[in-house]
Structure 1
Amino acid sequence: MLIISLLLIRNYKNKQELQQRRITELETEKQLTATEDVLKGEEKERTRLAKDLHDGLGGMLSGIKHSLNAMKGNLVMTPENHQAFERSMDMLDSSIREMRRVAHNMMPEALVKFGLDTALKDFCNDINQSGALQINYQSIGLGNVEVEQTTSITIYRIVQELINNTMKHAAAKSAIVQVSKTDKAISITVEDDGKGFNTLVLEGTKGIGWSNIQSRVEYLKGKLDVQSEPGKGTSVHIELNV
């Protein structure tokens, strides 16, 4: 009788453990689904805004520039007014370039047309040309591989946010971005020669940029490792199961 009671108790405990594990799995799946919905909604909105900026506002500004250039030949201006007119045209050109840059960052055309490797290469080249940071971009096994679009966008945003954080906070002169693809995983490494920091501060951080990185890594069921010390730069390594 005692043995039967013990067996019943053990079976009951096993069932409870299985039920608890299943509940935990369902909660995790629910969280991942919610994260996926948020990320997809965010990218859909980015795409819409990028199109509105480029086609709507961009077309309007270009039309204004064309009209002003056409008027220029029919206007009689003093030298001072001519200089003011040219300054206004320069400001308009700068506004058009800035608008295109913002639209491009929202949804890079290269990502849609040519894939992840080309988009990341273009992103790093744009940063290099701006002079804000010198990035050495390296890709391994990614060139001729087609990565699912949602995954590509998520990885692109992770790298974009990591580099943005480097430029904002690290006071770095150079960085390395390395992305490598194997049969079942993609690994991302971003290193900089900046001022570094105590990684313990990340445990309680509520910064939007870092939260976005963590959410995207979790969405792709990945692992995130940050190595940094004050005065010794920062290395971020991410392993994604895709």
Structure 2
Amino acid sequence: MDKLFLEEDGVITIVIFGVILLLVMGLTLILFFYLSRKKLLQKELEKKTLELNHQKEMLKATIVAQEAERNRIAQDLHDDISAKLNVVSLSANFLIEEESVTPKETEEIINHILRVTNKTIESSRKIAHNLLPPILEKFGLGAALEELCDEFSKSKKVNVISIIEYEAERLSKDDELHVFRIIQELMNNSMRHGKAKEIALNFKSEIENLSLSYRDDGLGFDTSTIGIQKGLGLRNIESRVSLLKGEITYKSEKLKGVEVEITL
């Protein structure tokens, strides 16, 4: 009988030990999954925070770029259009108020008014063209980029070699304007800051995306310090690429030009 009790006690002990072991293992698994989940959530939160900070930076860059554009337009209107219209106004008032003006002087003043008026019209067209190139609105991105490259080449300051294979209406009008401004800003940077003599542009429509390859033979820059020396132009480009949900990479060295790859 004692032997039977001892055997039962042994079985009970084993069962209890097994249950305790299972509980410990269960608690360990729960704790492991809890900590793993917590770690994943923390990483996800960090990722979301980085994305949010990036979006804030891009939004800030966009706002700064827009404000700079508004200031430039306001300056153009004040310095160019307003100044010319003021000359027209003064000349017209002089003709009205001055009684001793000779017919010859009248003719000269009228011709002067006409010349200044024509220059004012031309200036207003340039400002309107900078806001929204008419060819982009009428004929689309491909034609607008060809005209842009042609304008830069005709300046005789830089030679532009371009391959533009864009499928019409692949992008919305707003997105086409973003792409146009990106390439325009790249070319302006090449001339103003890079002192480039040659620019090569390759813009293609592919099955799943759009690819833009750009390079110049200008002064270049140290890519390791791009975050430090990034100016408004580069921030403006990056903000537009971000709005298009694209990716951009730079490759450059001092005195060896710049290469830019953009995928949209």
Fold shared per TM-score above 0.5 = yes
Give matches, 1:99-138, under 5 Å.
Answer: 99-138=124-163
Distance 1:125 1:201, change over 3 A: same
Over 3 Å counting, the alpha-carbon distance change for 1:34 and 1:168 in structure 2 is closer
The alpha-carbon deviation at position 175 of structure 1 amounts to 0.6
Q: State the 1:135 CA deviation.
A: 1.4
Q: Tell me the TM-score normalised to structure 1 length.
A: 0.72
Stretch moving more, 205-214 or 28-37: 28-37
Match of 2:232 among 178, 192, 208: 208
Q: How does 1:22-101 map to 2 (within 5 A)?
A: 22-24=44-46, 26-27=48-49, 28=51, 32=55, 42=66, 75-77=103-105, 82=108, 93-101=118-126
**RMSD across aligned positions (CA):** 3.8
Q: In 2, distance between residues paired with 1:233 and 1:206?
A: 16
Residue 155 of structure 1: aligned partner: 179
Q: CA deviation at 1:215?
A: 1.5
- Report matched runs for 1:186-197 at 5 Å: 186-197=210-221
Structure 1 letter corresponding to 2:29: L
Total equivalences in the alignment: 220
Judge conservation of contact 2:61–2:239 (CA < 8 Å) in 1: no
Distance between the aligned counterparts of 1:152 and 1:187, measured in 2?
Answer: 14
Equivalent positions of 1:4-23 (< 5 A) are 4-23=26-45
In the alignment, the residues of structure 2 paired with residue 189 and residue 212 of structure 1 have an alpha-carbon distance, to the nearest angstrom, of 18
Max Rg structure: 2
SS in 2 for 1:232: coil
**Matches of 2:38 and 2:140, distance apart in 1:** 47
For each residue in 1:107-136, what CA deviation from the matched residue of structure 2 results, as whole angstroms up to 9, or x when unmatched? 112222222111111222222223332212
TM-score (norm 2): 0.67
Match of 2:257 in 1: 233
- Secondary structure of the corresponding residue to residue 76 of structure 1: helix
The whole-number CA distance in structure 1 between the counterparts of 2:43 and 2:26 is: 26
Distance 2:156 2:206 in 1: 33
Q: Percent identity?
A: 29
- CA distance in structure 2 between the partners assigned to 1:130 and 1:147 by the alignment: 29
Question: Gapped runs of 5+ residues in structure 1?
Answer: none
Is 1:174 the equivalent of 2:180? Answer: no
Q: Distance in 2 between matches of 1:108 and 1:150?
A: 12
Deviations 1:143-165 (A, max 9, x none): 43531223212211111111111
Which stretch shifts more, 197-206 or 92-101?
Answer: 92-101
Three-state SS of the structure 1 residue aligned to 2:161 is strand
Distance 1:169 1:86, change over 3 A: farther
In the other structure, the counterpart of 2:17 is none
Judge which range, 171-180 or 19-28, deviates more. Answer: 19-28
**CA-CA distance at 1:204 after TM superposition:** 1.0
Residues 194-235 of structure 1: CA deviation (Å, up to 9, x unaligned): 222222231212411111111222222322221222222211
